[in-house]
A = this chain, B = another copy of it.
Amino acid sequence: MTVQQLTFSQTTPDMLKCIQDCLDCHSICLNTATYCLQKGGHHAEPSHIKILMDCAQICQTAADFMLRGSELHREVCNVCADANERCADDCDRHSDNGSDAQMKACAETCRRCLESCRKMSGMA
């Protein structure tokens, strides 16, 4: 079951997609932070763990603003997109040239969220 199949009030298809992308991005960033801590080495660099945690939290905040039907959701999506972009780039940097499946999946999920959030914030 995906979030789109639930009954939601006051949302558009674009917003439902953005909520789903934010929840997916929140989930994989949080999970990837633990993965990176366990891998150690360059994966556990403080700046990398921090951007994963930042991205996880602002994705959750953006999803919640949309789920509440809040007027300020565009502004939050805009900051979320900035975090997505930094996090995707940082995941690429730590992907061992694309051979690390978790980092690759995390970067792709961040980029999907980035696209949805830019569209939602009216700045695509």
Is the contact region of chain A dominated by helix, strand, or loop, or is it mixed? Answer: helix
Query: Is B76 touching A58 in the complex (CB atoms < 8 A)?
Result: yes
Whether A92 is near chain B, meaning CB under 8 Å from some CB there, is no
List CB contacts (< 8 Å) of A10-28 with chain B. 10-11, 19-20, 23-24, 27-28
A44: B residues at CB distance < 8 A: 37, 44
Q: In the complex, what residue of chain B is closest to A33 when comparing beta carbons?
A: B68
Given A3-B27, A30-B64, A67-B31, verify A46-B37 contact (CB < 8 Å): yes
Q: In the complex, what residue of chain B is closest to A35 when comparing beta carbons?
A: B9
Query: Is A37 touching B50 in the complex (CB atoms < 8 A)?
Result: yes
Q: How far apart are A53's CB and chain B's nearest CB, in angstroms?
A: 6
Pairs A–B under 8 Å by Cβ, sample size 30: A1-B20, A1-B24, A3-B23, A3-B24, A6-B24, A6-B109, A7-B28, A7-B102, A7-B106, A8-B31, A9-B32, A9-B35, A31-B67, A31-B68, A31-B69, A33-B68, A34-B50, A34-B69, A37-B50, A38-B46, A50-B68, A51-B70, A51-B71, A53-B53, A53-B68, A53-B70, A54-B68, A54-B72, A58-B61, A76-B79
